[in-house]
Amino acid sequence: MTHVPIEATIERCWREVATIEEAFEAGEIDREGWHRRIASLVVPAYLAGEDPRAQSGFEGTGADWEHARGLVAEAISRPGTFLDVGCANGLLMESVRAWCGQRGLSIEPFGVEISPQLAALARQRLPQWADRMFEGNAAGWSAPLRFDFVRTGLEYVPRSLAPALLEHLLSTAVHPRGRLLIGPYTEERDQTRSALSVQDTLRAWGFEPAGTLSRTHERDDRVVRRLTWIGGRARIPDLA
């Protein structure tokens, strides 16, 4: 079906990201340096994007976008507030509201974005939500309210700091009865996977996944699109 290395389907800039991770783990760069180097990969490419999906780092058609990112809306179980961590140009905020609306669920979307240029682009595209698009690093950001659904990626901080990112979002941004959605991420099919799954990684970090959704990948049948969530309070059952 495809001849690209599987790592490239999972993360387009995997070689560059691996080099940045190594530099962080070796102590050659600090957190700020890590974020600066990741931004230099991501931000110019997104700003040069010719369609709103490319400006959100997604390669593919509108149908591909809905297939891949629709998992987020599928994990939303009731009306409420939704925070997209790393909202880029705000397309996922818009899409989740529309997709949930089709299921009769009214969603109020918010976003936080580390890149000032992308946060500005999001506000310019969606001026009606300008005061809901916050600029900041989610890892240290003080959320102005608790959200019913918060979506994040694990790749928004150096790998060794990902558990602290999840803990921070759970303790400051996710409503106790809410859900912290992780993904959608791409991983090898269970039958052929050699690395630990994201679900098992979360367990190894001390978080108990409360649910997972999977879909086929649009272009590469060696991998699947997946989204996992954890309840807003590890010790309070996920009542959503």
Ligand X SMILES: C[S@@+](CC[C@H](N)C(=O)[O-])C[C@H]1O[C@@H](n2cnc3c(N)ncnc32)[C@H](O)[C@@H]1O
> Is 122 a residue that touches ligand X (CB under 6 A)?
no
Q: According to CB under 6 A, which one of 138, 150, 223, 227 is a site residue for ligand X?
A: 138
**Does position 143 bind ligand X by CB under 6 A?**
no
Size of the site for ligand X (CB under 6 A): 21
Q: Please say which residue, 125 or 177, places its beta carbon nearer to ligand X.
A: 125
Binding residue (CB under 6 A) for ligand X from 34, 76, 94, 115: 115
DSSP symbols for the chain = ---S-HHHHH-TTHHHHHHHHHHHHTTSS-HHHHHHHHHHHHHHHHHT-SSTTGGGT--S-HHHHHHHHHHHHHT--SSEEEEEES-TTSHHHHHHHHHHHHTT--EEEEEEES-HHHHHHHHHH-GGGGGGEEES-TTT---SS-EEEEEE-GGGS-GGGHHHHHHHHHHHTEEEEEEEEEEEEEEE-TTT--SPPHHHHHHHTT--EEEEEEEE-SS-TTEEEEEEEEESSTTS----
Residue 132 C-beta: closest distance to ligand X, Å = 14
CA dihedral for 156, 159, 162, 165, sign (positive or negative): negative
Q: Which is nearer to ligand X, 84 or 148 (CB)?
A: 84
Segment 49 to 88, residues that bind ligand X, using CB under 6 A: 56-58, 69, 84-88
| Residue 17 near ligand X by CB under 6 A | no
Apex CA 171: angle with CA 105 and CA 121, to 5°? Answer: 60
Using CB under 6 A, which residues numbered 20 to 49 contact ligand X? 42
Q: Which stretch binds ligand X (CB under 6 A): 20-28, 137-145, 187-195, 207-215?
A: 137-145
Residue 164 CB: number of other CB atoms within 10 A? 14
Comparing CB distances to ligand X, the nearer of 87 and 202 is 87
Q: Is 112 in the site for ligand X (CB under 6 A)?
A: yes
Nearer to ligand X, 6 or 39 (CB): 39
Binding ligand X by CB under 6 A: which of 9, 137, 199, 212?
A: 137
Write down the least CB distance from residue 235 to ligand X, Å.
Answer: 26
Could you say which of 20, 71, 96, 114 contacts ligand X (CB under 6 A)? 114
Name the residues that contact ligand X, by CB under 6 A: 42, 56-58, 69, 84-88, 92, 112-115, 118, 137-139, 156-157
